[in-house]
Structure 1
Amino acid sequence: MTKTKIVIAGIGGVGGYFGGLLAKQYCDDKEIEICFFARGQHLLEIQNNGLKIIKGENEFVANPIIATDNPKEIGVADLIIICTKSYDVEAVVHQLLPCINDKTFILPLLNGVDSNEKIQKILPNNTILSGCVYIVSRLKQPGVIENMGNIQTLYFGGDNISDKKLKHFETIFKQATIEATLSQNIATIVWEKFIFISPTATATTFFDKSIGEVVTENHIEKVTALINEVKQIAQANNIEIAENITELTIHKLKSLPFETTSSMHSDFKNKKACNELQSLTGYVIDQGLKHNIETPIYVEVYNKLKKLNR
C-alpha cells in the first residue's frame, strides 16, 4: 500500500492524546506520516520541544513529521481526524481544503451528533466517517497533554465498513496502542455517547457544579429528565439504543470521579465567547421541534444558559 498521510486537526485533550500516540509510533516510519494542525503558543511548543503526553506516572514526547498552522505545508491527506470543538468544525474544514481531495476520509471526533452533516455540506463528494471517543484528557499547558482517566477508547465507522482503507486505518490505530474499534453499529455508539454527554454538559453548566454534585439526590430528577428527553430524540431518528440507556447513563455518571465536569461547563465558567451550548443543548430542542417531541426541561435549561451566555 502507498504512503498514508494522517492529519490531526485540534491538538487538545482528544487530538493531542491520540495524535501523540500516533506520532510516537510512526515517527520514523517511511509509509505512514502523522501531521498536526495546530496554532498559537501550543503549536510553537510542539515545533520546538515536541508534544509531551502524561498518563499517570508515565510520560513521553511525540514528534509528528510536521506541526503547522499552514495546511499547504502538509499536502493532501488520506485521513483527517478533526478534534476541535464542535463550533469550530466548519471553519477548520474550510482551512484544511488544501489537504483534501475527493479520496480524503474525514473523521470528526467531536461532542455532538451533527458534525457529519455540517462537514458533508462542505465536502459532498467525500466520505465522512462517524466516530466518538471515551477519554478524560486535557491540554495541561502549551505543549503538554495529560490523560487523567482509566479509559481511552476510540470508535469509528461508516456506510461501507468493508472498505479496505477503513481496516487499514484501524490497524494503524491499534499498532499505535490506541484502543480503536471499527464498528458496524457506529450510529448507536455515537448516539449513546450523546445521550451521556448532552445531559451531562447541560446539567453541569446549568447547576454550575461538578458531575459528582449533579448526580446527588437534589439534582438527579432533573438529570434523569434530560436523559429521557434526549433518548426520545434518538428513538425518533430510528437509532437503536439500549432499553435501559437511562439507568446505564446514570450509572456511568456516578462512576466518574466526583470533581469531574464537562468542557461546556468549563467554557461557561471561563466566560469563553464560543461554547457548545447549541450543539449539545440547543440541538435537542431543534430535533424535538422537528419530530414534534416536547423537551420542556431542555427548553428551561437552554433559555437560562442562553441568558448567561450573552
Structure 2
Amino acid sequence: MKIGILGIGGVGGFIGAKLAHAYQSDPTTEIIFICRGATKQEISAHGLCLRTNDQHILAKPSLASDEPEKIGYLDLLIIATKAFSLPSVISAFQDCISPDTVIIPLQNGIDAAETLLHQFPKNPPIILEGCIYIASNIEKPGVIHHLGGPGKVIYGKDGNGHFPWVTTILQKAGIDTNYTSDIKKILWKKFLFVSPLAAITTAYGVTFGEVAKRDELLKRLRKLMLEVQAVANTETIMLQESDIEEALNMLSNFPYSAKSSLQLDVEEEAPQTEKATFIDFVIAQGRKAHINTEAYLLMDKLISEKTC
C-alpha cells in the first residue's frame, strides 16, 4: 500500500505525521509526503514534528519528495493543499495517479471533486470528497502545531460506494474517520462554519475567541451563516436553524487565539488566498439564485481594502 499526502501544511502535516508515525515499522505500507523546498529538506533530514496540547510526535515518512518518478503510482492520495492549487498540483503529479488510485481532497470548499474531475477527461481515478475539522498551522518548516478542533475526517461519495480500507488506515493512525454517502450535506455544514468565520475574522482582524466574546460580531457571524444557508438551500442541500446553532457552538472547540487560514494569508500578504473559495463563491451563487448577500458583500469590501 502506497499512500501520498500532497501538501504538508497544517492539515497535511497533521494527517501525514500521524500516518507516518503509525506505519513507520510496517514494511507493507509506504507513507509519502509530497512537498518541496525547505519543508522537503527539513523532513528528509530530521522528520516532521507534530505539536499538540498533550504530546509531540516526530514522524519520518518513507519518502519526502516532489519528483513523480520517485513517488510512483499511489493507492491513496490525500490532497491537503489550498483550493486554488488543485488544478496545478494535480497536473504536476498525474504520473502518480492511475484509474485505481483513490483521491480524497480535504479543501475548504464545495466543488473540489468537480475541479479534480476536469483534470481527467479520460480514465479518471476514484475521486471522493472529504473535509476535516481542525485548526492547525505551520510553525516553521518541519513543525506543525495542532491548535484545536478534533482533527476528525469525514469523507465519502454521494450514492453508492464504500471504502472501509481507507477508514481502517486512518483510524489505525489515531485519526477519527467516518465514511458517509451524504457527503455534500457534510461539506455544506462545514462550509457554514468555516466560510463565515473566515470572512469575519479576516475583515475585522479578530481571533475566534474575540468573535465568540463580542455580541455584535456574533450577530454578524449569524447573518453570514443565514446567507450561506440560503445559497445551500438553492442547491437542494437543506440546512436548518439547528445547523446554524451547531456551527455557532463549534467556536468553543477552538482556542481563543485561533485565526482562520484566510486571515493568516491576508496578514502575511500571501500572493494567493482562499478568498475566492470563502467569499466570492457565496456572492456569485447568491447572484445566480437572486439571493441577497449583503453581509458577504460588506466582508468582501473590507477584505479587499486590506489587500489592495
TM-score of Structure 1 vs Structure 2, range by shorter chain: over 0.9
Q: Which amino acid aligns with 2:66?
A: D
Which of residues 72, 80, 84 is equivalent to 2:77?
80
Contact 2:8-2:80 within 8 A present in 1 as well: yes
Which of residues 22, 27, 30 is equivalent to 1:30?
27
Q: Secondary structure at the match of 2:134?
A: strand
CA positional deviation for 1:160: 5.5
RMSD: 1.6
Aligned equivalent of 1:95: 92
Which of residues 282, 294, 297 is equivalent to 1:296?
294
**Where in structure 2 are the equivalents of 1:78-227 lying within 5 Å?**
78-124=75-121, 125-149=124-148, 151-159=150-158, 161-163=160-162, 166-215=163-212, 216-227=214-225
1:19-65 CA distance string (max 9 Å, x none): 11111111232322111101111110100011112222421211111
CA positional deviation for 1:255: 4.8
Q: Which amino acid aligns with 2:296?
A: Y
Which of residues 27, 32, 43 is equivalent to 2:40?
43
Contact 2:90-2:116 within 8 A present in 1 as well: yes
Distance 1:282 1:254 in 2: 27
Which of residues 5, 10, 16 is equivalent to 2:7?
10
Q: 1:231 to 1:176 in 2, by over 3 A?
A: same
CA positional deviation for 1:67: 0.5
Aligned equivalent of 2:265: 267
1:262-297 CA distance string (max 9 Å, x none): 010111111111111011110001111222222111
Q: Secondary structure at the match of 2:3?
A: strand
Q: Secondary structure at the match of 1:113?
A: coil
Q: Which amino acid aligns with 2:40?
A: L
The percentage of counterpart residues that share the same residue type is 33
Q: Secondary structure at the match of 1:257?
A: coil
Distance 1:55 1:257 in 2: 12
Contact 2:32-2:63 within 8 A present in 1 as well: yes
Distance 1:299 1:126 in 2: 38
Aligned equivalent of 1:279: 277
Distance 1:126 1:51 in 2: 29
Contact 1:161-1:182 within 8 A present in 2 as well: no
CA positional deviation for 1:84: 0.7
1:240-274 CA distance string (max 9 Å, x none): 43442222222222553222210101111111111
Note the residue ranges of structure 1 that are not aligned, 5 or more in a row.
Answer: none
Contact 2:4-2:74 within 8 A present in 1 as well: yes
Q: 1:150 to 1:192 in 2, by over 3 A?
A: closer
Q: Which deviates more, 93-102 or 142-151?
A: 142-151
Distance 1:44 1:202 in 2: 34
Q: Which amino acid aligns with 1:186?
A: I
Distance 2:34 2:55 in 1: 25
Distance 1:227 1:59 in 2: 36
Q: Which deviates more, 245-254 or 136-145?
A: 245-254
Contact 1:114-1:279 within 8 A present in 2 as well: no
1:154-201 CA distance string (max 9 Å, x none): 1100146544xx111111111111111111222111110000000000
Contact 1:37-1:71 within 8 A present in 2 as well: no
Distance 2:177 2:138 in 1: 22
Note the residue ranges of structure 2 that are not aligned, 5 or more in a row.
Answer: none
CA positional deviation for 1:87: 1.5
Contact 1:89-1:119 within 8 A present in 2 as well: yes
Q: Secondary structure at the match of 2:72?
A: coil
